[in-house]
Amino acid sequence: MPIPGVAAEALADVQQRIVEALAAMLAEAEKEPPRMSAVEGSGLTAMFEHEGVRCVLVVDLTPERVALSPRELQIARLVARGATNRAIGSMLDISSWTVSTHLRRVFAKLGVSSRAEMVNALFAVPELPGPRESIEGRALPVDRGVQHV
């Protein structure tokens, strides 16, 4: 894909440089585990560098989300706020039996059997690795909201 103001030959050279750097980074990662950082709310990142080419990989640690209908999600949010089936039915102008039916479907999709488990499965903040010590026993540094592990 052409980039305005950049010659095609220069783009080809950059592409070749990136491919070579990625191959070298992969070989290095296979020999020695990369240094990783935990980023709150995101997952883990690993940074590689080879001859002026830097690559940051982000691994999403959040569990895969189950597809809920808009109504199921609406009801689950109300349950998370502490609403009863009767209160939810009244708010949404549906019967409490319909609320129960939606909740049974949500439970089945999530593989849970209680309201508390459902709320935890849908709305809990995923746990990321906490502060850890390095192999040498020293605490790893923390920089600008990034926890090194």
Ordered DSSP codes for the chain: ---TTS-HHHHHHHHHHHHHHHHHHHHHHHHSPPPEEEETTTEEEEEEEETTEEEEEEEE-SPPPP---HHHHHHHHHHHTT--HHHHHHHHTS-HHHHHHHHHHHHHHHT--SHHHHHHHHHPPPP-----B-TTSPBPPEETTEEE-
Q: What is residue 5's predicted lDDT score, i.e. its pLDDT?
A: 80
The predicted pLDDT at position 44 comes to 80
pLDDT given at position 133:
43
- pLDDT confidence of residue 147: 44
Distances (CA, A) of 115 to 59, 67, 101, 110, 122: 30, 18, 13, 11, 11
Q: What does pLDDT average to in each consecutive run of 10 residues of the chain (149 residues)?
A: 80 88 87 79 77 81 76 94 95 96 94 92 65 46 46
Measured distance CA(68)–CA(77) in Å, rounded: 12
pTM higher than the cut 0.75: no
Domain ranges of the chain: 1-62, 70-123
Fold of 70-123: Arc Repressor Mutant, subunit A (1.10.10)
The C-alpha atoms of residue 107 and residue 87 are separated, in whole angstroms, by: 19
